[in-house]
Chain A
Amino acid sequence: MTAVPTAARPLDLVAAEWIKLRSLRSTYLVLLTGVVAALAIGLLACNSDASQWPQLNPGERAAVDPMADSFVGFAIAQLIFAAIGVLTVTSEYSSGLIRTTFAAVPARRAVLAAKATVVCLVAVSVGLTTALVSFAAGQAILSGQHIGISLSHPGAARAVIAAALFLATVTLIGLGIGVLIRSAAGALAAAVALLFLAPTFLHGTSRWLVDIANALPSNAIRRLVSLHPWPTAPSVTECVIVIIAYPVAALTAAAYVIHRRDA
C-alpha cells in the first residue's frame, strides 16, 4: 500500500487519451474514411471542371472556383471527423467505461480537456496533410487547363490552414455534443443536422436567413476556401469567429454538464 499522493499531471491524462485513441482499430478506419472522402470528392470535382472547361462559355467559366473545387470533399469529411469526436466519448458512456475513467480521475473536466486536446491535435495534423494533398493534387489537375492556382495565390494558404482547422472545429463540436447527448446515434444525428442539414435548409435571401446561414460552421469554411465568395457570404473575420465560437460553446456546455450529471 502506498500513501504517496499522486501528482495530478494534466499531460498524463493527454498521454492516456492518446493511448486510448491509437489502441482502437476503428480510429484508423474512421480517419482513413475521412481522408479518402476528402481527397476523392475534391479530385473528382477538379477533374470534372477541368474536363468541361473547353466547352464552357465565359459566364460559366467565371462561376468556376478552382480553389473551392479542391475542398469540396471536406463537406463529407467534416461529418466523419465530427463522428470521431462523438465516438471518443459516447463509446465510454455506452460501454460503461466512463465510470472506470471517472473513478480513476474524479477531476472530470480534466478528462474532457485531455480528450479535446488529443482529438484536436489529431484532426489538425491529419487535416493539414489532407488539405495540402487535396489542394496540390486538385490544382495539378486544373493546371492542365491553366486554371490551377499555386499555394502563393492570395487566399490559398489561408484556405489550406482553414480547412485543416475546420476539421478540428467539427471534431471538437462532436466531442461536446457527445458529452451532452451521450448516445452515439443521437449525437451523430445532432452533428449531421448542424453541419449538413442546417446549411441546406437555412438557405434564402431574407436578411435574417442570411444572418443565420452566415453563422453556420459549414458556410464559414465554404467562404474561407472560396476564391470567389458568393454575394451574401460572411466576412473572413466572421468566419474565424464562427470556427472558434462553436467548439468553445460546445465544450463549455460539456464541461458544465460533465461535472454536474451522474456518471
Chain B
Amino acid sequence: MIEVHELTKRYGSTTAVDGLSFTVRPGHVTGFLGPNGAGKSTTLRLILGLDAPTAGTATLSGRPFRDRRRGLRDAGALLDATAVPAGRSAAAHLTALARTNGLPAARVRAVLEEVGLAGVARKRVGGFSLGMKQRLGIAAALLGDPAVLIFDEPVNGLDPEGIRWVRGLFRGLAAEGRTVLVSSHLMSEMENTADHLIVIGRGQLIADTPASAFVAQGTQDHVVVRTPAVRSLTAALATAGATVQPGPDGLLEVTGLTGAEIGDLALARGIALHELAPRRASLEEAFMELTADSVDYLAGDPS
C-alpha cells in the first residue's frame, strides 16, 4: 500500500508536485499517468524517499520509506532503465544489490531467469539494448520479493513479445496480492494492464478511478456518419436531440443517438448514408481530453 497525502515538491520557483493525494492499493495494477513533465517521476522519487518533499507525506506500508535501513524486501523499483553500471555484468550488478540487503545469491539467479536474462548474465550491461536494460531493471525490482513494486515507464524499448510478457508479469504480481504502480505517458500501454488509474497533470491530481470508469468519465461514445446530404441530415439529427460535429474528410461525429437510431432516422427521411460506425472512446482519447489543459510541452504552441 502506498499512501500519498498533500504531497508537494518545489524546485526553486517550479512546482513539480502540487498537493497530490492518492492511495495505491494492493492486489491491483495501478496505472500512473500524465503527460511529459506532469510530475510522475518526481512523485515516485518522493515515495521512495530519494527526494524530500517540500510539504506533505508519502508512506509505503504505513511509514516513510526513508525510515528503513534496507529497502529491497519492502519495495522494488525500476526508476530509469538506463541507470545501470555499463562496465559491470548483469550478474555482478544484481549480486552487489542483493548483498546490500542480505539476500542470497539464489535470488539473483531466480530473477535473471524470470526476466529472461540468464543467458547474458555474465555480459557487460553496457552492451545491452534498452529492452534488455528494462528487463534488468525489472529483475532488480523483483530481487527482494517485495510487497510493493514501482515501475517508471517500464515498456519503453521492449519489443511486442516483451510488452506482452511485462503485462502478464504485472498482472501476476498484483494477483499475488502485491501493490503494483506502473507509470506511463502513453495511455494505450495501460489499456490492457491497469485495473485502476491515477492521472496527474502539472503535478495535480486529475483522476483517480477504476480504468473502466475513466473512459466513461472522459469522453462520450459517438457515431461517425458519412452522407451526401450533410445539411439535411444535420438538421434532422439536431431536431432529434443529437449533437453533430463536422469531422475530418466530410464525416459527421454524432453524439446523443445510437447508430441504430441514426440509421432509422435517415431511412425515415429518405437520406442516404454511406457510412455509419459507432466509435467507443478509447482510453487514449479520454486521457487526451482530460489532460488537454495540463500539457506543458505542446507541439506548435507559439507561447
Contacts and interface: CB of A to CB of B under 8 A. Distances in A.
Contacts of B140: 100
Given A103-B75, A103-B79, A91 B85 contact: yes
B99 A96 contact: no
A26 B66 contact: no
A105 B73 CA distance: 11
A152 interface: no
Nearest to B48: A103
Contact of A97 (B48, B84, B145): B84
A12 B79 contact: no
Interface in B141-189: 144-147, 176-178
Contacts, number: 120
Interface string A18-29: 011001111000
A95 B84 contact: yes
A105 B146 contact: no
A28 to B, nearest CB: 11
Contact of B52 (A4, A9, A262): A262
A106 B68 contact: yes
Interface stretch (B88-96, B205-213, B226-234, B237-245): B88-96
Contacts of A99: 45, 48, 50, 79-80, 83
Interface string A70-112: 0000000000000000000001000111011111111100110
Contact of A263 (B51, B72, B73, B84): B51
A241 interface: no
Nearest to B81: A96
B87 interface: yes
A19 B51 contact: no
B272 interface: no
Judged by DSSP, the binding face of B is loop
A262 B9 CA distance: 11
Given A99-B80, A99-B83, A106-B49, A16 B97 contact: yes
A95 B146 CA distance: 25
B51 A262 contact: yes
A24 to B, nearest CB: 5
Given A24-B85, A95-B83, A96-B82, A104 B100 contact: yes
B102 A7 contact: yes
A173 to B, nearest CB: 24
Nearest to A97: B83
A95 B133 CA distance: 13
A212 interface: no
B71 A106 contact: yes
B50 A16 contact: no
B70 to A, nearest CB: 4
Nearest to A19: B96
A57 interface: no
A104 B82 CA distance: 17
Interface residues of B, number: 44
Contact of B102 (A6, A17, A96): A6
A1 B176 CA distance: 8
Interface in A1-42: 1-9, 12-13, 15-17, 19-20, 23-26
A15 B70 CA distance: 15
A1 B85 contact: no
Given A26-B87, A103-B79, A1 B146 contact: yes
Nearest to A111: B100
B69 interface: yes
Contacts of A25: 87
B145 A1 contact: yes
A1 B100 contact: no
A13 B96 CA distance: 9
Interface in A120-167: none
A260 B102 CA distance: 26
A2 B61 CA distance: 14
Nearest to B79: A99
B84 A6 contact: no
A35 B261 CA distance: 86
A99 B48 CA distance: 9
A102 B177 CA distance: 25
Given A95-B86, A104-B97, A107-B68, 6 more contacts: A8-B69, A20-B96, A24-B88, A96-B83, A104-B144, A106-B65
29 contacts: A1-B178, A6-B69, A6-B101, A8-B69, A13-B100, A19-B95, A20-B92, A20-B96, A23-B87, A23-B88, A23-B92, A23-B96, A91-B85, A97-B84, A99-B48, A99-B50, A100-B83, A101-B97, A102-B49, A102-B50, A103-B50, A104-B70, A104-B100, A105-B100, A106-B67, A106-B68, A107-B70, A262-B45, A262-B50
